[in-house]
Structures are given as C-alpha cells and as structure tokens.
Amino acid sequence: MSNHPIAKSIVNKSNVNINTKDILEYKEISGMGVKVKYKEDEIFAGNAKLLDSENIKYYKCNEIGAIVYVARNKKYLGAIVISDIIKEDSKEAIESIDKTGIKNVYMLTGDNKEVAQNVGEKVGIQNIYSNLLPQEKVEKMKEIKEKYGTIVAVGDGINDSPLLALADVGISIGNTGSDLAIESSDMVIMDGKLSNIANAIKTAKKTKRIVMQNIYFSIGIKVIVLALGAMGISTMWEAVFADVGVTFITVLNSLRIFRK
C-alpha cells in the first residue's frame, strides 16, 4: 500500500499474494516506515527510528544498504537489506558541476550514515547529512540556504518535494521521479541523466550573458543616437538603425544560444 520505492521493491520481490481485506489498519509514518494491523497481528516495517519509537528491542544490522527492520506484535523478526544502484553518470555529474564553478555540493538523505558515506565516496560528495527525516531535510536546507544564498536542489522522491519547492531552482528526475516531486520542481530532466544538470547550468549562464550583451548594446546605441540628435548631428538613418538595426543585431546575437 506504500508508494515508497523501497516498499515497492520488497513487494515486487516477495511474490506473495496478500488479501488486502485482511489488512484492517494501515498507517504510514513519515520518515520511519509503516504500521499495519494484519488479521490479528500488528506488524511494523521501517528503519531503526520506527522500532525505537515503539520500544521494540532489535539487533542492529551493520550491512551497507537501506535497512528495513520488521517486527510483529512488538517482537523483532529480522531485517531486509536493500542496496541502491548509483546512476552511472553520478560521479561525472558531480565533476561537471564542480567545473561550472559550484563548489559546495551537499547530500541530504534519510539513509543511515554508512550508506550515505559509501555513496558519497563513490560519487565525490564530501558534505553529507544522513538519517534525516523529511522535516529535518527542510531544516538543513534552510541552514544551507542562509549560508550560501542561492541554491539548487535535485531530487526525485515524494520526500524531496518540499526541498525542491524551497530551493531557488528545483530539479527533478523525469523518468524515475514521483509526480509530486515533478510538480514541485522548476526543471525536469526527462532522460534521467544527472550530467545534464551541468549542461543546464552552462546554458543558463550563456543565456544570461547574451541577454546582458543585448541590453547593454541596445541601450548604449540608443543613448548615443539620442545624444547626437540633441546636438543636431544624427539623421533619420541613425534613428532607423537605433531602432530596427539594433533589434536585428540583438536577434542575431540571441541565436548564439543554440550553438553548443
């Protein structure tokens, strides 16, 4: 009944037919897991915080991956370990972003410290905050925003949507992102390639540079022609150039945006 990617992966792998009529109660606890009343049993599935909140004693799993602890009637049954697959171009994307001049890249994740550190080392991210609940992610995001000012956030999950909305520019992943994340973002990477983030930054910088060139050029020419006109030097031809000619030149200059 959960839409969380980890929950879906467990259900797809289990191949067990469950009669939903036997599920009497279902509660999804944000950032922790799920609590279910199934027939006569009360079942818990989630991270360590969920079991701690229910005062359930358990053995800590030290495997690398996302850990889903399972308990029935307050008795610990075991754990399921799920390892994320890192996107092939993740490391390349971080390196490309660094080359654009963005030096401060952070990872905000609800995964445990070991998983977060392992992923961070593989992709080249040093600033890592792990074991975060959705509201804690927002708090960290606000701290980062206060420290640096303008920020870009990238995410694809339901829990990422508040971060995408809070960021100056929110980027979601089209092929794997949730509908809520896509709706909350300003930009969507449809092919799922993280390396396109750097391309988008380069395109934005180039566009801004060309726009500023056009503004300075058009205003500068008009000021010069007005000054010459006030002194009685400029003619009708200079006035036509300052209007139509400048417009034509700025349009041609704008076409440079389409060049790679």
Helix or strand (DSSP H, E) at 78: strand 75-82
The 3-state secondary structure of 2-38, one letter per residue: CCCHHHHHHHHHHCCCCCHHHEEEEEEECCCEEEEEE
Q: Give pLDDT tens digits for 71-128.
A: 999 999 999 988 777 888 888 888 888 888 888 899 988 877 878 888 888 888 888 9
Which residue's entry shows tokens 């060139």?
A: 213
One-letter amino acid at 171 equals: I
Residue 260 is predicted with a pLDDT of 66
Residue 248 has pLDDT above 80, yes or no: yes
Residue 231 has pLDDT above 90, yes or no: no
The 3-state secondary structure of 176-221, one letter per residue: CCCHHHHHHCCEEECCCCCCHHHHHHHHHHHHHHHHHHHHHHHHHH
Pseudo-torsion of CA 196, 201, 207, 210, nearest 10°?
-130
**Strands across the sheet with 169-173, in order?**
152-155, 169-173, 187-189
72 DSSP β-pair partners? 43, 75
- Count CB atoms within 10 A of the CB of residue 201: 18
Which residue's entry shows tokens 């910088």?
A: 205
Q: Give pLDDT tens digits for 128-183.
A: 988 888 888 888 988 988 888 888 888 887 778 888 888 888 888 876 667 778 88
Burial per residue of 168-193, b for 16 or more beta-carbon CB atoms within 10 angstroms, e otherwise: ebbbbbeeebbebbbebbebbbeeeb
